[in-house]
C-alpha cells in the first residue's frame, strides 16, 4: 500500500513543481497557495463573490491568476491593470467566456452580451446603437420617459398596497423602467390594459435570471460535474430559457399581427427587426430577435431599477444629503412645474449622488471577458483563452483609489464629470472598452429624471428609527437583500401641482 501512496504523491508533486516552474518561466501573475488538484482555487470562493475576490486581491495583489477547476482566471482589481486590458489589449479581451449561462440564457451565445467579438456581435451592436440607443432616438423619446415618470408619481401618491402607512418601492421602480423599455421595443406599456400580471411575470423572470447567472456553477469549471449529478443550476437555467422564449415570441407575434404601416422613424424596435428579417433573414431570425429583446428588457430594466433602489436607500440613511438634493431641485425647477429632462444638466449635485451610489453599489460588481490570444498585462504573461475577471466593486471601494470609501460622500464628485476613463477607470459602472454598455446614456437619463422627480415631489422617511438595511443580495446584478420599504407624503410646496395630476 505504501509504494502506491508514494507513487501517487510523487506524481502530484511533480505536476505541481512543473506548473510552478512553467509559471515562473512564462512570468504568470501571482497565484494563491495551495492550488489543489482537480478543484484548483474553487475552495476559496464564497458569497458574495466580489467581496471574496476582493479579499484575495488585498492579500495577493491587484493582478492574480486563479485556477478554477479546469479554467484559468485572471483576476484584476486595479484601475491601471483594467486600463491596460481594455485599451492596449482591448481586442484581445473582447470575447466572452463560454459559460452555461450564455448557452441557456444567452440564446446559445447569440445575444449581444454573450456573443463572441465577431461580425454577428458587431451587427447587433450597430443595430442597437442606431435603432434604439442613438442620441437622436434617446432625445425623441424624452416625452415617453416623462410620461412614465408621471405615472410613477401617481402610483406613489395612490399606491395599490399600503401596510402600516408604508409602501414597497422595488416593484414600482422596476415597473417604471419596464414600461419605458416595452414602449421602445413593442410600442406599448405593460400597464396599457391594466396588465399587472405581465409586469409580475417579467419582474420574476428577470430577477431569477440574474440570480442564477450570479451563482457559481461548478460545471463551468469542472465539466464532468454534470455527469455525477451536478445539474440543478443548469435545469433552472433551461426552465428560465423556456419562459423567455415564450414571452419574447409572444411580443414578436403581436407585432406580426399588426397591419398599420408606419414611417421608419415611428416604428418600434420589433417592427424594425421584422422589416430587416424580410431583407436579411439569415441575420435576423426569430431566435436572434428574441435574444436581443431579452437582453434589452432584462439588463435595461434591472440595472436602472436596482440603482434607484440603492440610491433612495442611501438618501434615507443620509437625510442631510436628501435635504441638499431638495434644495438644488427647488432652486432649478421651482414649485410650479415638475422637473424635466432638460433640467438635469443644471443639477450637478444630483449627478454626484448618482455617481456615489454607483460607486458604492455597482449594479454589475464583476465584469468578465476572455482573451483571444496570448498577451502581456502589467509585465505578466496572460495565455490565450484566459477568463478576465474585473472586480469593479473592489476598485470602487479601494482606499487606494477613493478617500474613506466606506462613507457615502457625494461631494467627492463635485466638479467632476463622466465615468469610466474620465475617472482613470476608478469608476466604471457601465464597463469600459468596446463592450461598454451601449445603454449608458439612456440609463443615466432615466435614473436622473426619475429620482429628481421623486425627490422634488415627496418627503421620504424610513418606516422606523432603524437605519435601512443595506445588505446586498445575490446575483450577477446585485440587488438589495431586502426590498426597500418607505414612508412618504407629498411635499407641502408641491401639493397644489400634484393635486392637478
Summarize pLDDT for 220-250 with one digit per residue, the tens.
Answer: 999 888 777 678 899 999 999 999 999 999 9
- The one-character DSSP state at 72 is E
- Grade residue 23 by pLDDT with cuts at 50, 70 and 90: very low
C-alpha count within 13 angstroms, C-beta hemisphere, residue 212:
23
Highest mean pLDDT among 138-147, 274-283, 408-417, 447-456: 447-456
Report the percent of the chain where pLDDT is more than 70: 91
- Give whole-number Cα distances, 218 to 38, 205, 215, 435, in Å: 12, 23, 9, 26
- Per residue in 151-175, pLDDT tens? 999 999 987 766 778 999 999 999 9
CB 10 within 8 A of CB 2: no
**The predicted structure's pLDDT at residue 21:** 46
Query: Count of H helices and E strands in the chain?
Result: 17, 9
- Per residue in 86-120, pLDDT tens? 999 999 999 999 999 999 999 999 999 999 999 99
Three-class HEC string of 176-240:
HHHHHHHHHHHCCCCCCCCCHHHHHHHHHHHHHHHHHHHCCCHHHCCHHHHHHCCCHHHHHHHHH
**The predicted structure's pLDDT at residue 418:** 53
**The predicted structure's pLDDT at residue 262:** 62
**The predicted structure's pLDDT at residue 501:** 78
**DSSP 3-state helix, strand, coil percentages of the chain (rounded to 5)?**
55, 10, 35
Q: What is the rounded average pLDDT of the residues 468-476?
A: 94
268 or 314, which is more confident? Answer: 314
**The predicted structure's pLDDT at residue 25:** 54
Q: What is the rounded average pLDDT of the residues 403-414?
A: 96
Question: What is the CA angle 493-498-501, rounded to 5?
Answer: 160
- Per residue in 30-88, pLDDT tens? 999 999 999 999 999 999 999 999 999 999 999 999 999 999 999 999 999 999 999 99
How far is 329 from 323, CA to CA, in rounded Å?
10
CB 91 within 8 A of CB 109: no
- Whether the per-residue pLDDT at 479 is higher than 70: the answer is yes
Q: What is the rounded average pLDDT of the residues 330-345?
A: 95
Q: What is the rounded average pLDDT of the residues 303-332?
A: 98
Residue of 430, 434, 433, 402 whose CA lies nearest to 416: 402
- Grade residue 267 by pLDDT with cuts at 50, 70 and 90: confident
Q: What is the mean pLDDT of the chain?
A: 90
Q: What is the rounded average pLDDT of the residues 357-370?
A: 97
Residue of 363, 373, 342 whose CA lies nearest to 440: 363
Q: Which residues are annotated as a binding site for heme?
A: 437
Q: What is the rounded average pLDDT of the residues 391-397?
A: 98
How far is 149 from 339, CA to CA, in rounded Å?
10
Q: Which residues are annotated as a binding site?
A: 437
**The predicted structure's pLDDT at residue 158:** 85
**The predicted structure's pLDDT at residue 246:** 95
Amino acid at each position: 500500500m505504501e509504494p502506491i501512496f508514494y507513487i501517487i504523491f510523487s506524481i502530484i508533486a511533480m505536476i505541481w513543481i512543473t506548473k510552478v516552474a512553467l509559471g515562473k518561466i512564462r512570468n504568470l501573475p501571482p497565484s494563491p497557495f495551495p492550488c489543489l488538484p482537480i478543484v484548483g482555487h474553487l475552495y476559496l470562493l464564497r458569497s458574495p463573490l466580489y467581496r471574496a475576490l476582493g479579499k484575495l486581491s488585498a492579500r495577493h495583489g491587484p493582478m492574480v491568476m486563479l485556477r478554477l477547476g479546469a479554467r484559468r482566471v485572471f483576476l484584476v482589481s486595479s484601475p491601471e491593470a483594467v486600463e491596460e486590458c481594455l485599451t492596449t489589449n482591448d481586442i484581445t479581451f473582447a470575447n466572452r467566456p463560454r459559460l452555461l449561462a450564455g448557452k441557456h440564457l444567452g440564446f446559445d451565445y447569440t445575444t449581444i452580451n454573450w456573443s463572441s467579438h465577431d461580425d454577428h456581435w458587431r451587427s447587433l451592436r450597430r443595430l442597437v446603437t442606431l435603432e434604439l440607443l442613438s442620441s437622436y432616438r434617446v432625445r425623441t423619446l424624452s416625452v415617453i420617459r416623462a410620461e412614465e415618470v408621471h405615472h410613477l408619481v401617481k402610483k406613489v401618491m395612490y399606491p395599490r398596497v399600503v401596510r402600516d402607512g408604508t409602501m414597497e418601492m422595488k416593484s414600482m421602480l422596476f415597473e417604471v423602467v419596464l414600461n419605458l423599455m416595452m414602449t421602445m421595443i413593442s410600442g406599448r406599456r405593460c400597464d396599457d390594459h391594466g396588465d399587472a400580471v405581465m409586469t409580475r411575470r417579467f419582474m420574476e423572470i428577470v430577477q431569477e435570471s440574474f440570480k442564477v447567472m450570479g451563482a457559481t456553477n461548478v460545471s463551468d469549471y469542472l465539466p464532468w460535474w454534470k455527469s455525477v449529478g451536478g445539474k440543478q443550476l443548469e435545469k433552472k437555467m433551461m426552465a428560465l430559457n423556456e419562459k423567455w422564449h415564450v414571452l419574447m415570441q409572444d411580443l414578436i407575434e403581436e407585432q406580426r399581427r399588426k397591419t398599420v404601416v408606419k414611417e421608419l422613424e415611428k416604428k418600434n424596435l420589433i417592427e424594425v427587426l421584422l422589416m430587416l428579417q424580410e431583407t436579411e433573414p439569415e441575420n435576423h431570425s426569430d431566435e436572434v430577435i428574441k435574444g436581443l429583446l431579452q437582453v434589452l428588457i432584462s439588463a435595461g430594466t434591472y440595472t436602472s431599477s436596482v440603482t434607484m433602489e440603492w440610491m433612495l436607500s442611501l438618501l434615507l440613511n443620509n437625510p442631510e444629503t436628501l435635504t441638499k438634493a431638495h434644495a438644488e431641485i427647488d432652486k432649478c425647477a421651482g414649485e410650479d412645474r415638475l422637473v424635466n429632462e432638460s433640467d438635469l444638466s443644471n443639477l450637478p449635485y444630483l449627478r454626484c449622488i448618482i455617481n456615489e451610489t454607483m460607486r458604492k453599489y455597482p449594479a454589475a460588481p464583476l465584469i468578465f471577458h476572455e482573451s483571444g490570444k496570448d498577451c502581456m498585462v502589467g509585465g505578466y504573461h496572460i495565455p490565450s483563452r484566459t477568463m478576465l475577471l474585473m472586480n469593479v466593486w473592489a476598485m470602487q471601494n479601494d482606499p487606494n483609489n477613493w478617500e474613506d470609501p466606506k462613507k457615502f460622500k457625494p461631494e467627492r464628485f463635485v466638479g467632476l464629470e463622466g465615468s469610466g476613463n474620465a475617472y482613470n477607470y476608478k469608476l466604471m459602472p457601465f464597463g469600459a472598452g468596446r463592450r461598454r454598455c451601449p445603454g449608458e446614456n439612456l440609463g443615466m437619463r432615466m435614473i436622473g429624471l426619475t429620482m429628481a422627480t421623486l425627490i422634488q415631489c415627496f418627503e421620504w422617511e424610513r418606516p422606523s428609527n432603524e437605519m435601512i438595511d443595506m445588505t446586498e443580495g445575490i446575483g450577477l446584478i446585485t440587488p438589495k437583500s431586502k426590498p426597500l420599504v418607505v414612508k412618504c407624503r407629498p411635499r407641502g410646496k408641491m401639493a397644489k401641482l400634484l393635486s392637478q395630476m
